[in-house]
Amino acid sequence: MNAFEVLGISETAEDEVILNAYLICVRECPPEKDPDRFEEVRTAYEAICNERQRIQYQLLNHDPMNVETAIQVLLNTKQSQKKPLTEKQLKTCLLESLEDVQ
Longest dimension (CA), the chain: 44
80 to each of 32, 43, 84, 85, 98, how far by Cα in Å? 38, 26, 7, 10, 26
Residues 6+ apart with CB under 8 A from 32: none
Domains and CATH numbers, the chain: 1-49 (1.10.287), 51-102 (no CATH)
Indicate the DSSP class of residue 32: T
In tens digits, the chain (102 residues) has pLDDT values of 789 999 999 988 889 999 999 999 999 999 999 999 999 999 999 999 988 888 778 777 755 545 556 566 666 655 554 566 666 777 676 666 666 554
Output the pLDDT for position 65.
Answer: 47
- Is pTM beyond 0.75? Reply is no
For residue 83, the 8-state DSSP code is P
